[in-house]
Structure 1
Amino acid sequence: MLAVFGIDSDGLNLAVNLLLLFLVVVYLSLVYWTYADARRRIDDAMLVGCAVVAAIIFPFVGVIVYMIVRPPEYLEDVRERELEMQAAEARLHQLSYLACPHCSYEVKEDWLRCPSCTRKLRDPCSNCAKPLDPEWRLCPYCEAEVAGASTSRRRRRRGGSGDQSTSERTAVDS
C-alpha cells in the first residue's frame, strides 16, 4: 500500500487516505454547489463560469469568496418582485389617474369641468352639489333622484346579463 506523508502504519495511512478522499469529495461538492447556486442567482453565463473557475482554482477559498460576493437574491425572486411592482404601479395608475375625454388632460374624479378645455365633465347634484356620473339615476352621497338620467342604457345592460327573457326585454324597451 502507498504510504502518504511517509506514514508506515496501515491504520494511520488508511485514516489519512479516507480524510483525503473526504476532502476531495467535499471539494467537488462545493464546486458543483457553486455552479448550481450561481446559475440561480446570476443571469450572465460568463460570471457563472468565473465563479466556478474560482472555486476550482482556489479550493475552498474560491467558494468562500463566491459566498461573500454573490447576489443576495435568486433571479426568480427578482423577476417576481419586478412583476409585482409593475402590477402595483398599474393598479395605482388606474386608480389615481383620470383623463378628460375631450383633451386628455389629467382631471380629478370630483371635478365638474376640465380646467384645460373647460368642457363639462359631470353635472352637480341638485340636492348636495356633489359631482354625478351621467349614468347614475340617484346621487350616491345624498340619495336624491337625478333628473333626466338615461334609463334605456341600463335596461340593455340588465337585459344582457340574462335576468330577463327576450320577450320581456322587447316589452320593456317598447
Structure 2
Amino acid sequence: MHTQLAVFGIDPGPLNTAANLTILFLFVTWLALVYYTYSDARRRIADPMVIGCATAASLFPFVGTIVYMIVRPPEYLDDVRERELEMQAAEARLHQLNYFLCPHCDYEVEKEFLRCPSCLRKLKDACTTCSKPLDPEWKICPYCETEIPGKTPTRRRRRQSLNEPTEQQAAGPQ
C-alpha cells in the first residue's frame, strides 16, 4: 500500500487537503504581492535601482510589501508630470496677461517696474539714455538703440586672409 506524506504531521484526508490549499493560497498571494510591489514601484519611482530594492524587499513574505506601502511615494510619476505641465501652462497664461511677481517676495509688480515696491529689490536696470527698463538678456536698448555696457560684445577687426599682403609686405623692402 502506498502512503502519502502528511503536511505538518496531518494525516492524509480532508484536513491535509485544506492545509495544502492554504499553503498554495498563501504562496500565490505572496507572488501576487511581489508582482504588485514591482508594478506599483515602476509607476511611482523613476530610479531603477530603487525599484529593484523595493521588489527585493517584497521577497520577504508579506512584511516587505507592507513596508513598501508605508514608505512608497504618495503619487504616480504621471501625476507629477501632469501637475508640472499644468503649472507651466498656468504660468504662461499669467505672463500673457502681464501678471508678474517679484522673484524675491512674490509681490505683484508690473513689467515696467525697475524696483519692487514691497521689498525694494532691483528688478531691472534702466537705460542710461532713455531711462526705459531693460531686460537682463538684452544687448542693446530696443527703444533708443544704445549699447548696454558689459553686454554688447566688442567688435573685432576683420582678420586678413592668407592671400592678402600685410602692410609691411605691401610697402616693400626698405
**Higher share in helix:** 1
Counterpart of 1:96 in 2: which secondary structure? coil
Say yes or no: does 1:21 pair with 2:21. no
1:141 counterpart residue number: none
- Which residues of 2 match residues 22-171 of structure 1 at below 5 A? 22-56=25-59, 58-96=60-98, 106-107=111-112, 116=126, 117=130
What amino acid sits opposite 1:41 in the alignment?
R
**Contact 2:57/2:65 (<8 A) preserved:** yes
**TM-score (norm. length: structure 2):** 0.56
For 2:131 and 2:57, the matched residues in 1 are separated by 68
Counterpart of 1:49 in 2: which secondary structure? helix
What amino acid sits opposite 2:9 in the alignment?
G
**TM-score (norm. length: structure 1):** 0.56
Deviation at 1:93, TM superposition (A): 1.7
Counterpart of 2:11 in 1: which secondary structure? coil
Deviation string, structure 1 residues 51-109 (Cα, Å, up to 9, x no partner): 000001x11000000000001111000000000001111111221259xxxxxx9328x
2:158 counterpart residue number: none
**Contact 1:40/1:75 (<8 A) preserved:** yes
Structure 1: runs of 5 or more not aligned:
99-104, 109-115, 120-174
Runs of 4+ in 1 over 2 A off after TM superposition: 105-108, 116-119
Deviation string, structure 1 residues 96-136 (Cα, Å, up to 9, x no partner): 259xxxxxx9328xxxxxxx4357xxxxxxxxxxxxxxxxx
What amino acid sits opposite 1:80 in the alignment?
E
For 1:27 and 1:107, the matched residues in 2 are separated by 64
1:131 counterpart residue number: none
